Chains A and B, each alone.
Chain A
Amino acid sequence: MPWKQGYTISDEISLADADVRWPDGKRCAVHIVVDLNLASGPDGITPGDLTSPAAVFAANDGLDGLLRALAGSGLKATFAVPALIAECYPERIREIVGRGHELAAHGLKGEDVSGLSRTEEAARIELASELLTAIAGERPAGWFSLPRQTDRFAGGSISANTIELLLEARYVYMGNGLADDLPHYWVTDVGQRRAILTLPYYYHFDDQFFCMFPAQGTGLENADMLLRNWRAEFDAQYRRGRFFTMTLHPQHSGWGHRLAGLEALLAELGRRPQLWNATGAECARHWQSAYPAASQLGLEASIWQDYPDSLS
Chain B
Amino acid sequence: MPQSLKEELDALTAVAAHNGRRFRLLQRPAWPNAARIAVNLTVDFDAMLLRRLNNEPPMELAKGEFGGRVGIWRLIELFRTHGVKATIFTPGRICELYPRALAAAVREGHELADHMWEHRVPKEPAVARAHLSRTKAALQLISGRAPIGSRSRYPSALLREVGFLYNSHGARSHLPYLVCDDDGDPAILELPFHFAIDDAMFFSFAWYASANAGQRLFDPDRVFDLWWAAFEHQYREGGYLNICLHPFVSGRALRIAMLDRLIERMRGAPGVWFATCEEVARHCLAQNAPGLLTASAAAATAE
By a beta-carbon cutoff of 8 Å, the part of chain A in contact with chain B is 1-2, 4, 6-14, 114, 145, 149-158, 160, 176-181, 184, 202-204, 209-210, 213-214, 218, 222, 225-226, 228-229, 232-233, 235-237, 239-240, 242, 302-305, 307, 309-311
Q: List 10 other contacts, CB 8 Å, given A8-B48, A179-B69, A180-B69.
A: A2-B99, A7-B65, A153-B57, A179-B62, A209-B205, A229-B220, A232-B258, A236-B253, A239-B257, A303-B96
**Are A11 and B69 in contact, CB atoms less than 8 angstroms apart?**
yes
Report the contact-size class of chain B (Cβ under 8 Å from the partner).
35 or more
B254 CB-CB contact with A under 8 Å: yes
Q: Which residue of A has the minimal Cβ distance to B258?
A: A232
**Are A9 and B222 in contact, CB atoms less than 8 angstroms apart?**
no
**Are A178 and B252 in contact, CB atoms less than 8 angstroms apart?**
no
* Neighbouring A residues of B159 by C-beta, 8 Å: none
Looking at the complex, which of B18-26, B27-35, B206-214, B284-292 is the stretch in contact with chain A?
B206-214
**Are A232 and B220 in contact, CB atoms less than 8 angstroms apart?**
yes
Separation of A154 and B205 alpha carbons in the complex (Å): 7
Contact residue among A7, A149, A179, A218 (Cβ-Cβ distance under 8 Å from B66): A179
Separation of A233 and B251 alpha carbons in the complex (Å): 12
**Are A181 and B97 in contact, CB atoms less than 8 angstroms apart?**
no
B160 CB-CB contact with A under 8 Å: no
**Are B66 and A225 in contact, CB atoms less than 8 angstroms apart?**
no
Separation of A197 and B70 alpha carbons in the complex (Å): 17
**Are B59 and A214 in contact, CB atoms less than 8 angstroms apart?**
no
B73 CB-CB contact with A under 8 Å: yes
**Are A202 and B252 in contact, CB atoms less than 8 angstroms apart?**
yes
* Neighbouring A residues of B61 by C-beta, 8 Å: 7, 9
* Neighbouring B residues of A178 by C-beta, 8 Å: 59, 62-63, 65-66
Contact residue among B70, B99, B222 (Cβ-Cβ distance under 8 Å from A180): B70
Closest-CB distance, A159 to chain B (whole angstroms): 8
* Neighbouring A residues of B53 by C-beta, 8 Å: 311
**Are B118 and A310 in contact, CB atoms less than 8 angstroms apart?**
yes
Contact residue among A150, A179, A226, A303 (Cβ-Cβ distance under 8 Å from B212): A150
Contact pattern, B 65-89, Cβ under 8 Å of A = 1, otherwise 0 = 1101110010000000000000000
Separation of A152 and B57 alpha carbons in the complex (Å): 10
Contact residue among B57, B65, B70, B122 (Cβ-Cβ distance under 8 Å from A114): B57
**Are B62 and A7 in contact, CB atoms less than 8 angstroms apart?**
no
**Are A232 and B257 in contact, CB atoms less than 8 angstroms apart?**
yes
Closest-CB distance, B222 to chain A (whole angstroms): 7
**Are A233 and B58 in contact, CB atoms less than 8 angstroms apart?**
no
239-259 of chain B: CB within 8 A of chain A: 252-254, 256-258
**Are B56 and A179 in contact, CB atoms less than 8 angstroms apart?**
no
**Are B66 and A309 in contact, CB atoms less than 8 angstroms apart?**
no
B100 CB-CB contact with A under 8 Å: yes
Known A178-B66, A236-B253; contact A152-B209, beta-carbon cutoff 8 A: yes
Closest-CB distance, B150 to chain A (whole angstroms): 18
B194 CB-CB contact with A under 8 Å: no
Separation of A303 and B94 alpha carbons in the complex (Å): 11
Known A12-B69, A152-B206, A225-B219; contact A4-B252, beta-carbon cutoff 8 A: no
The 6 A-B residue pairs with the shortest CB-CB distance, nearest first, are A155-B59, A236-B253, A232-B254, A228-B219, A214-B212, A233-B254
Separation of A228 and B137 alpha carbons in the complex (Å): 44
**Are B253 and A155 in contact, CB atoms less than 8 angstroms apart?**
no
Separation of A218 and B117 alpha carbons in the complex (Å): 41
Separation of A233 and B7 alpha carbons in the complex (Å): 59
Contact residue among B131, B221, B252 (Cβ-Cβ distance under 8 Å from A233): B252
**Are B65 and A222 in contact, CB atoms less than 8 angstroms apart?**
no
Separation of A305 and B206 alpha carbons in the complex (Å): 29
Known A154-B206, A228-B220, A310-B118; contact A10-B65, beta-carbon cutoff 8 A: yes
* Neighbouring A residues of B117 by C-beta, 8 Å: 310
Contact residue among B66, B98, B205 (Cβ-Cβ distance under 8 Å from A12): B98
Known A2-B96, A204-B217, A232-B257; contact A153-B59, beta-carbon cutoff 8 A: yes
